[in-house]
Structure 1
């Protein structure tokens, strides 16, 4: 009797390999010329969802896994999709619930299994030989529901963020259709430059917010420092940062209190325009600033403080009610972003503990309840 045949009949968890219960299948090439931007089905590569198509290559829900390039990347696809030839994909089996399998794959070192020195590549035999502990299917489904409830709430918050920001953009566009004036960007806000706080960092204390954190969030390479700095160089959740070097971008800071590193402005209102509007004003000039930065070929692309003197088109006035609406939308999105950080931390802490059987589902439900996910919200 195979291990997976016995797992439903035994209360203990069995050691199993991926290939026995989640065999990897190759995605199929779909040239860009054959993709349709308005297709019904997502096209998924190792970089995630990249386009759409009129038909699906796999009609079953699946997990798409990066095979070339971003190896080990994971995209959970509850609907039919087209996995490209840079991917593997797996579907659920009678012995392994698909969403449970998605969380299993997150605990395995797929992204470290590069067997190609030129272009990162994942070998199917190596991946399928990875072992993990498999509980009975009923327990798999329960574990997946608990972790899924956290991911579902994160997804719902993300939709709230997108809606709030879309409404904020629409509000600004409406205001620009009234009376406007041209003012220097530098006159609308205080742009406080960060400093080199990564030097001699202690490894403890607050996050040092660098461009890497603005791009990709807090990760294993994030620098921490317990140095005391002036409040001007501290960013709080919901405040606005503007990277003026490298990747020129704005960022509503969603994490805990941090220290602002060099090459980043902390943006503070000094005029009639609050953060909700200032972010849109700066964004309206991002392409201009990127063009300036791209012209500095001998150094890392950047702008100078003098470039902030560029005039921008802004409303002559903003009615109090509309300004309050803009601030409310900014705050709503910020709160959802902050909650998502808490939810993601909880999920990431529970994931290895649940998958190893070190905590029970009841323990995980209690932990989820502490961050606002009621067990009754867990979907079937």
Structure 2
């Protein structure tokens, strides 16, 4: 959110099981018991109360095909989280429960790791800059490892997280059907198909594959209207539902590494990095506000490219991307628009539209530019 660009809807391509006779053999496995859409939604809601998935480990493949113009972000072999905005990428994940989480973004010659130890601290290790950042959680504060992971690596997502957003949007004005016979990462799965009825939405449908035993989301595919292939997809290519070894959640900075210390939620210039209510969005009037509902939800917030550039100035950017440069690159392909609300520039991808008004507002949603313009009239 602090970048002012829609990076939440990052997608991932789950691996295909095979072709020809291999598919036929896999599909010949015993099918899962029939479940209605209502029964599956109830199971997902029940599982969501745990807030974290069961102990597990696995490998995800993410692919984003947003139809964005060329951006100044790292290439496909980079371990930078910004590189997840385009192309296909691999993420390794470990969940140990009790706040213990590890995400690893390997690159060709680099790696970025997030490790939540479950002991009130988390680490972000970036091999390209040889930097280890230790985030300390204040006493009494509550944050799960997954919440902290998403704050530290905002462009890295999991099927569990993306499924939660999709199901929240599907609470109203959505048709839901069930497909059986899916196999994801060797696991039999149910597939919920969520079809928005909102005409302003750019989403044609979302396919959510649930593990047939644990009901954990194994893959999420987001399809844009008019497209046969998913624009966003995230899915496991390998998954094991057993407790990872404890050493996966331990971290000691390598000799010679630069070590930085930050506190999550404490007052200070860095506290907003992990979602604290401090910094550029501290004032009530400056906080993002929502309009619409479900698939038609629009986020509106104050925004200035100059302010973003000043915020990034002086920071050591070991992740290989500059948010201000990204926004400027996007705006080069923007279309000038105007109306009773004023004037501005609009950028549309397959699934997300963004309107930057000349009076300093940013409106973002998985909706048509016309819907954003209408919302801009309600200040």
Q: TM-score, normalized by length of structure 1? A: 0.24
Greater share of helix? 1
**The structure with more radius of gyration:** 1
More strand by share: 2
TM-score (norm 2): 0.24
Q: Which has the higher contact order (CA 8 A, sep 6+)?
A: 2
